[in-house]
Amino acid sequence: GMEGQRSCRTPCPNPFDYKTQKFILTHSRMVGTLHRLLQLCILGYLFGWVFLVKKGYQEMDSDPRVSVITKLKGSTITKTQEFGNWLWDVVDYVKPPQGENVFFLVTNAIITPKQRQGHCPEHPSIPDAQCIKDSDCPMGEPVVGGNGIKTGKCVMLDLSQSTCEIYSWCPVENAPLSRHPLLAAAENFTLFIKNTIQFKKFNFLQMNTQTTDDDAYFKTCLYDPVSFPLCPVFRIQDALQEAGYDFQTIAVKGGVVRIIVDWDCDLDRSAICLPHYSFSLQDVHYNFRTVQYYWGKDEREFRKLIKLYGIRFDISVTGKAGRFHIVPATVNLGAGLALLGVVSTACKLLYLHTHTHTHTHIVPATVNLGAGLALLGVVSTACKLLYLHTHTKAYYTYPVCLVKNYCNKESQTDSTFFK
């Protein structure tokens, strides 16, 4: 009795000792099949999606420094009743002409010439200008949504309409908008986009004009998503078609077109990165007004009011670059191994739930699901590998120490335990 009690006493555990788990081989086709299937799914996700598709082994830079320079080329002649033949070149139809990443291409216009300050009837389409008598037009009151200041008079336009007289630039704008774009030939104008992108993290600089050393190439090529996907020269009509719309339809009242230059650079494969262009229509109906002032023969100031309709181009540059780095590769690999640990823990619970006849004295398991224990499992696995690597001359046995006969060193293992 006393000797048995003394033999049960164990020395204080050493905090620097390391213990390994005991593995039990069970014959359960359902649990084993489920375990392997879940492992294959996680491995497929880890190596297929995380590493192959998302390049989880790379350090990324998704905040590049960019610059964009644009140039439009083309000219056309329009014939109007007021001005006859009128030549349009780049200075006339591009606003602003500096070649920025946002610019406006004129396609249609309403021109009101020879305006000068004076008194004239307000346009009848303005609700606040409609009147029957002079008291409907209080003097000095601005016309809401109109073109000038009321003078206190109600004037007849014709037998059926009357409006308030205003002090304004007269005559007010009243010409109808043409159903056919004034600059219909603009569909054949060309747009050249010069883009430079720099990833500071990797000290990498690339331009979209480095695809060839032939200077004449950019004078002859036109962008085509199949034949010439890298040519930075775009015909306006082709850009609208890539956005899914017809130029002649959008050109009447204008619109907003966005061009995206996207760079996806894998610096592990090549030091050369190529852009990808995409197009989308952001809005329809875009216009604004501008004027040209001049002096008449009677030394009075005149102006020509021009309401411009056209297409505003917004050019955006996006990009990311990646290069192999040990930190993201290790983090993503560790996350995958942690998921494998969660699968093993879940299968243990499933086995315990479906095999209620298992002897409780041989399964002293308390399982807590969670990412925390899964990560601890990864640490334990790493320690095992380290121990095996540093103790290559050791041999290992796995004595079975059951709760009932823990003190009996001579006890034999139940042979049914390994069945």
Longest Cα–Cα distance of the chain, Å, equals 132
pLDDT for res 249: 92
pLDDT tens digits along 92-145: 899 888 778 999 999 999 989 899 999 999 999 999 999 999 999 999 999 999
Confidence category of residue 27, pLDDT binned at 50, 70, 90: confident
pLDDT for res 394: 40
| 8 Å CB contact between 381 and 389 | no
pLDDT tens digits along 1-19: 545 444 455 566 677 777 7
**Left (φ > 0), alpha (ψ -120 to 50) or beta: where does 99 sit?**
left
Confidence category of residue 333, pLDDT binned at 50, 70, 90: confident
Q: Say which range, 5-9, 270-274, 318-322, 348-352, has the weakest mean pLDDT.
A: 5-9
* Total Cβ atoms within 10 A of residue 300: 10
What CATH number labels 65-122+172-257+272-317?
2.60.490.10
pLDDT tens digits along 342-387: 888 888 788 777 775 544 444 444 444 444 555 565 566 666 656 6
Most confident of 30-44, 251-265, 337-351, 363-377: 251-265
Q: How many helices (H) and strands (E) does the chain have?
A: 8, 15
Confidence category of residue 302, pLDDT binned at 50, 70, 90: very high
Residue 196 phi/psi, 5-degree rounding, is -120, 135
* Residue 289 is assigned to a ligand binding site: yes
Could you tell me the residue ranges of all domains in the chain? Answer: 2-55+325-418, 65-122+172-257+272-317
Computed over every residue of the chain, the mean pLDDT equals 81
Q: How far is the C-alpha of 19 from the C-alpha of 398, rounded, in Å?
A: 11
Please check the confidence at residue 402 and state whether its pLDDT lies above 70. no
Single-letter residue type at 222: L
* Residue 190 is assigned to a ligand binding site: yes
pLDDT for res 317: 95
* Residue 235 is assigned to a ligand binding site: no
What residues form DSSP beta bridges with 142? 149
* Residue 307 is assigned to a ligand binding site: yes
Q: What is the average pLDDT across 185-192?
A: 94
| 8 Å CB contact between 237 and 188 | yes
Please give the distance of CA 297 from its chain centroid, rounded to a whole number.
57
pLDDT for res 410: 39
pLDDT tens digits along 51-92: 888 888 888 888 899 999 999 999 999 887 766 788 999 988
* Residue 258 is assigned to a ligand binding site: no
- Structure tokens of 200? 């500071």
Q: How far is the C-alpha of 137 from the C-alpha of 149, rounded, in Å?
A: 10
* Residue 72 is assigned to a ligand binding site: yes
Q: How close are the terminal C-alpha atoms of the chain, in Å?
A: 34
Q: Say which range, 6-20, 221-235, 297-311, 320-334, has the weakest mean pLDDT.
A: 6-20
Q: What is the pTM of this model?
A: 0.70
Single-letter residue type at 383: C
Please check the confidence at residue 196 and state whether its pLDDT lies above 80. yes
* Total Cβ atoms within 10 A of residue 9: 7
Task: Give the rounded percent of residues in the chain with a pLDDT score beyond 70.
Answer: 79
Single-letter residue type at 127: P
Q: What is the average pLDDT across 244-261?
A: 94
**Secondary structure (3-state) at 51:** helix
* Residue 71 is assigned to a ligand binding site: yes
pLDDT for res 400: 35
pLDDT for res 369: 45
| 8 Å CB contact between 231 and 221 | yes
